[in-house]
Amino acid sequence: MSERLTIAIQKSGRLSKESLALLQACGVKFSIHQARLLAHSTSHPIDLLRVRDDDIPGLVMDGVVDVGLVGENVLEEVRLEREATSQRADYIDLRALDFGQCRLSLALPKEQSQLSLADLAGKRIATTYPFLLQRFLKTQQIDAQAVMLTGSVEVAPRAGLADAICDLVSTGATLEANGLVETQVIFRSRAKLIQRKQPLSPARQQLLQQLLPRLDGVQQAKESKYIMLHAPKQRLDEVVALLPGAEAPTLLPLSDQQQQVAVHMVSTETLFWETMEQLKAIGCSSILVLPIEKMMG
């Protein structure tokens, strides 16, 4: 049996760039040939399988690949579909990732946007996610018809194919461009890392165990900042209070100053301009906010 860990990612789409970037940030190197389905890592015994995102949950659930990176929307849709058709639908949830954030929402043509949820009874709703839509409609006890479309869902009402749509929304620009108004969020999604339920060989499990802390380190680093500033000794408590998520700061004396100290700290939150202005107002100076590339506890 091959001792290479197989990871499925989206070949080309919204998740592709960030999936690859995440693996690369974990030290896994690839040389990608656009046309090829399979890419071998040059740094680790890892193979990348580059496929359509719709195929990723099934590949993991069937144990064809070891792990996959996929949006929760597709993952949950496929899980519901496979459950309904008595296919294997289990997997291990490894990590929620900080990209691919979007929501699955109901939207109506502008002229009908005042309609309530109950008014959807008997209507046709175009969607790529019939199982998620039906689950929502069931909880609301609404009897409507899901019209399955694999693309261009937003044009369905104008084309007379449906009365409403249920589609992914991020900025809302697509809805607006098509004269539609978001009326109800039915599912919130982000990218996830999932593992097959069937056990991995010890070598592959060990490799995965090495990658996970790296992945956590990359995600944590992205959310953290290294902050350096000069602060008045008397007001240190106020300075720290202004920096939520800051770990115990390191204080360093300044050779030419008695009243001020240099403060270095890692903050787990973004430092906004407003906070920097407040720090300045209480006497801080030389405020630097630096990105962190990697972290390990």
Residue 10 or 127: the one with the smaller Cβ distance to ligand ATP is 10
Binding part of the chain for ligand ATP, among 12-20, 36-44, 238-246, 275-283 by CB under 6 A, reads 12-20
Q: How far apart are CA 27 and CA 96, in angstroms?
A: 19
Q: How far apart are CA 26 and CA 22, in angstroms?
A: 6
Per rule CB under 6 A, is residue 150 in the interface with ligand PRP?
Answer: no
Footprint on residues 120-149 left by Mg ion (CB under 5 A): none
Per rule CB under 6 A, is residue 173 in the interface with ligand PRP?
Answer: yes
Footprint on residues 200-219 left by ligand ATP (CB under 6 A): none
Window 174-213: contact mask with ligand PRP (x via CB under 6 A): x---------------------------------------
Walk across the sheet containing 102-109 and list its strands.
145-148, 124-127, 164-169, 102-109, 180-189
Q: How far apart are CA 87 and CA 81, in angstroms?
A: 8
The conformational region for residue 61 under phi > 0 = left, psi -120 to 50 = alpha, else beta, is alpha
Residue 14 or 190: the one with the smaller Cβ distance to ligand PRP is 14
Per rule CB under 5 A, is residue 55 in the interface with Mg ion?
Answer: no
Q: What is the DSSP letter of 41?
A: B
Cα 82–96–175 angle (5° rounding)? 75
Per rule CB under 6 A, is residue 182 in the interface with ligand ATP?
Answer: no
Least distance in Å: CB of 167 to ligand PRP? Answer: 6
- In this structure, what token pair is assigned to residue 260? 């001020």
Binding part of the chain for Mg ion, among 45-53, 168-176, 182-190, 255-263 by CB under 5 A, reads 45-53
Least distance in Å: CB of 109 to ligand PRP? Answer: 16
Residue 24 or 170: the one with the smaller Cβ distance to ligand PRP is 170
Q: Could you tell me which of 253, 202, 197, 201 has the C-alpha nearest to residue 230?
A: 253
Taking CB under 6 A as the criterion, the residue among 6, 19, 41, 73 binding ligand ATP is 73
Binding part of the chain for ligand ATP, among 34-42, 94-102, 177-185, 211-219 by CB under 6 A, reads 94-102
The conformational region for residue 292 under phi > 0 = left, psi -120 to 50 = alpha, else beta, is beta
66 forms bridges with which residues in the sheet?
none
- In this structure, what token pair is assigned to residue 173? 């620009």
Per rule CB under 6 A, is residue 170 in the interface with ligand ATP?
Answer: yes
Residue 53 or 163: the one with the smaller Cβ distance to Mg ion is 53
Taking CB under 6 A as the criterion, the residue among 189, 195, 219, 260 binding ligand ATP is 189
State which amino acid sits at residue 18.
Answer: E
Least distance in Å: CB of 162 to ligand PRP? Answer: 15
Strands (E), the chain: 5-10, 38-40, 46-51, 67-71, 92-96, 102-109, 124-127, 145-148, 164-169, 180-189, 191-195, 225-232, 250-254, 257-267, 285-291
Per rule CB under 6 A, is residue 76 in the interface with ligand ATP?
Answer: no
Which residues lie near ligand PRP (CB under 6 A)?
14, 167-174
